[in-house]
Structure 1
Amino acid sequence: MVSAASADWAARLATLYPAIGALPEGLRDDVLATQAQAVSVPAGTPLFDEGAPCQGFPLILDGEVRVARGSPGGRSIELYRVAPGEVCVASASCLFGQRSMVAHGVASQPTALVLLSPTGFDRWAAEPGFRHYVFGVFADRLADLMALTEAVAFQRLDQRLAAALLGQGPVRQTTHQQLADELGTVREIVTRLLKRFERAGWITLGRERIALRDAAALRQLAEGR
């Protein structure tokens, strides 16, 4: 028998998540009645941690969850945010792969959600419609993460690299590895960016030397213009 509480979840979830509304009614209601719980938390509440087992699949009803990945030094970078009607791909990835969480999630504002147990998620994921929906969200999030990777690896680093090339005279004697060490990155990324600068006509690359051809363009880039 479906409780009044789970019946309310079903109605709200079916509106926010059409793939849930399209599930067979018996399967949907049984999972919500036996394999799900409603959770309401204030802003700032940790919901899951990196390296921890996945406790379930969150379905946001109200509020927002910030998903980020940390570093050993204590810094973190935001990967994405999950709003009502959206899917946390970090949780889905851990459930599909039966691995620990690769990111941490914190409620960025007062948040209400339904937490689907791993068993409940598996039962729903056995339905092609729901499974295809989750994988479709994976594709969208992957595009977002690729854009984020480009911003971190290229758009911000290229400004720092341009600044590093300035103020050293018309020719700088250095290796790509030395520049990478100076900027705290890897040689492959520095090489890729330098070749991009060369194609733009800003520099000429030689053996352990970089000749500046358009310092004004490099300065504009370094200043974020």
Structure 2
Amino acid sequence: MPTDELIRHYPSLASADRSELDALPVISAPAGALLFDVGQPCQGFPLVLDGEIRVSRQSSEGRSLELYRVVPGEICLVSSASLFGHKALAATGVTARASRLVLLPPPLFSRWLALPAFREAVLGLFAERMADLTALVDAVAFRRLDQRLAAALLGRGHDVPVTHQALADELGTVREIVTRLLHRFERDGWITLSREHIHIIRSAELRSLAGDG
């Protein structure tokens, strides 16, 4: 177990028992691996050493909405809420790219919450995640989809390697609607489309649309 690497990403663990840290196994998972799913009991508290975890909810119609992503140094809100409340998991976690992580067993997580530094770090990151989700709810509930799509395209450079389905998943809608809006943007001369690729021509117009309302 690379304990020093774990403490570098999660400094609050410096006060934990070193032998317990050393004994934690490292889990390696390829991109696209299912780490946890809705309705399952939480197997532990994930601490990411390398890579990225995409946490999402899926409707009965198969539509997916990305809630957040977990990278090294961050926590999974869904996992911590499950452990705090002793309830089943409320979302799905899939590796967005090849990842390495440590899974704190529930009894160890509960015991380490008695450590002031660890408890304060977990609760502080929990609050940050809640703020992220509040912003997501505001975006989904109060912003038009074309505004949200324009915002999703910005900040990725002028050449965006992305599929329409990936954008639909990110925005919590269906691919057909995203495709329709992208073709509208193309007709307006803001972007050009090719297979799994979007080239942004007029980012100012996208930025103006994203900031409206």
Alignment of 1:1-225 (within 5 A): 6=1, 8=2, 10-21=3-14, 23-24=15-16, 27=17, 29-34=18-23, 36-156=24-144
Taking structure 2 as the reference length, the TM-score comes to: 0.66
2-structure distance, mates of 1:72, 1:32: 40
Corresponding residue number in structure 1 for 2:165: none
**Cα deviation 1:167-223 (Å, max 9, x = unaligned):** xxxxxxxxxxxxxxxxxxxxxxxxxxxxxxxxxxxxxxxxxxxxxxxxxxxxx98xx
* 1:157, distance to aligned residue in structure 2 (A): 6.5
Q: Which runs of 4+ in 1 moved over 6 A?
A: none
With CA pairs under 8 Å and 6+ residues apart, which has the higher RCO, 1 or 2?
2
2-structure distance, mates of 1:158, 1:147: 17
* 1:115, distance to aligned residue in structure 2 (A): 1.0
**Cα deviation 1:68-124 (Å, max 9, x = unaligned):** 111111111000000011111111111111110011100000001111111111121
> What is the one-letter code of the residue matched to 1:63?
G
* 1:66, distance to aligned residue in structure 2 (A): 0.2
Conserved in 2, the CA contact under 8 Å of 1:65 and 1:105? yes
SS at match of 2:89: coil
2-structure distance, mates of 1:79, 1:30: 35
The Cα RMSD (Å) is 2.1
2-structure distance, mates of 1:105, 1:65: 6
Cα separation, partners in 2 of 1:97 and 1:31, compared to 1, 3 Å: farther
* 1:37, distance to aligned residue in structure 2 (A): 2.0
Count of residues in Structure 1 that have an aligned counterpart in Structure 2: 151
1-structure distance, mates of 2:99, 2:35: 10
Corresponding residue number in structure 2 for 1:164: none
Gaps of 5+ in 1: 1-5, 160-219
Gaps of 5+ in 2: 148-207
> What is the one-letter code of the residue matched to 1:117?
P
Taking every aligned residue pair, what percent have the same amino acid on both sides?
51
Taking structure 1 as the reference length, the TM-score comes to: 0.63
* 1:67, distance to aligned residue in structure 2 (A): 0.4
SS at match of 1:74: coil
Q: Which has the larger radius of gyration?
A: 1
